[in-house]
Amino acid sequence: MIANPPDVLFIPAHLPPLIHPKKLVVTIHDLAFKQYPEVYSKKELRLQEWGIQRVLRKAWRIITPSEFTKSEIQKYYPRLAKNNIFVVPHGVELKTQNHNVKLKTNIVYIGRLEAKKNIVNLIKSFNILKKNYSLILIGPQGYGYRQIKKEILASPYKNYIQELGWLPHEEVAKHLANARLFVFPSLYEGFGLPLLESFAAGTPAVCSDIPALKEVGGDCALYFNPRDPEDMAEKMRAMIQNSALRSESIERGKTHAKLFSWQRTAEKTFVILKEGL
C-alpha cells in the first residue's frame, strides 16, 4: 500500500485501513449502532463511532445500499456528510424453482437471531397465528439470543419452531422456495436483502413498515407494525389465506426482483471507481 499505492481503493465495509490512497471509496451499509446502541458493547460502540467518523472525513466517495442509509448519515452527521454519497442497491441472484406447492406449510425467517431483528415479537405473533404451520428460523445467534430462546421455550407451539442456524446459500434458497410465507420483522435495516431473495424465489413476503424495507419492497409485500404482534399475525394470516393477494404479491415480487442484480450493482460501483482513474 505504501510502496505501490493503488489509484483508487474500494472498501465494501466501513472500516478502511489506516494507510490508504487519497481516493478511498467505502460502503456504509447502515447506522444501526446509532439507533440501537443498547445491542452493542461499549467497545463496539466506540469502534463503530470512530470508524464512521473516520470514513466521513477521509473517504473520497461513499456508497450506501439505500436512500434511507444515506439520509441516516446526513441526519446523524450533518457536519461531516458531504455531496459525495452515492446510492448503489445490492443485487439478488436466487434461481430456485418452487417445489411441493401443495405441501407449503412453513413460515420462514432469514437473518441473525438478535434483539434488533425483533424475533421475540415474531414468536408472539406466531403464537397468535398458529394453525397448521411451522416457523423456520434461519441464521446464526446474535446479541439478545437468550431472550429469544426463552420466548421459544415458553411458546405453546415450541415444537413447531425450528432453529436451523447458518445454512449455505443453496439451502437457504431451497427453504425459501418451499415456504408458504417469508416474514421479516426487523426493527432496523440498512437495505434488507432477504426480502429481495424472497421475491426472487417466488415466495410472498410480509415485513416491518420501516423505511429501508418499504424502499426495497415497494408494493410487493404486506407491511406491519413490528412492535405489534397482533398486527404482524394479521398480515401473515392475510398473505397466507388470501389467494388473490398471494398471487399478485408473487408476480409483483418476481418482476421487482429483476430490477436488482449483482451485475447492475457492479456496473454502478465501477462507474464511481472509474472516476478516480
Question: Domain with 243 in it: what CATH number?
Answer: 3.40.50.2000
238 and 141 both lie in a single domain: yes
| Predicted local confidence at residue 179, as pLDDT | 95
| Predicted local confidence at residue 16, as pLDDT | 76
Pairwise CA distance, residues 62 & 86, whole Å: 6
Residue 2 falls inside a structural domain:
no
Chain segment 43-56, per-residue pLDDT in tens:
999 999 999 999 99
| Predicted local confidence at residue 17, as pLDDT | 76
175 and 202 both lie in a single domain: yes
| Regions of the chain where pLDDT drops below 70 | 1-3, 94-103
Q: What is this structure's pTM?
A: 0.91
Residue 4 falls inside a structural domain:
no
Residue 96 falls inside a structural domain:
no
Q: What angle do CA 168, 193, 270 make, to 5 degrees?
A: 100
226 and 114 both lie in a single domain: yes
202 and 146 both lie in a single domain: yes
How many domains does one find in the chain?
A: 2
235 and 265 both lie in a single domain: no
| Predicted local confidence at residue 103, as pLDDT | 54
144 and 242 both lie in a single domain: yes
122 and 252 both lie in a single domain: yes
Chain segment 181-193, per-residue pLDDT in tens:
999 999 999 999 9
Q: 39 lies in which domain range?
A: 9-91+261-274
| Predicted local confidence at residue 68, as pLDDT | 98
125 and 25 both lie in a single domain: no
Sheet with strand 85-87: strands edge to edge: 9-11, 24-27, 61-64, 85-87
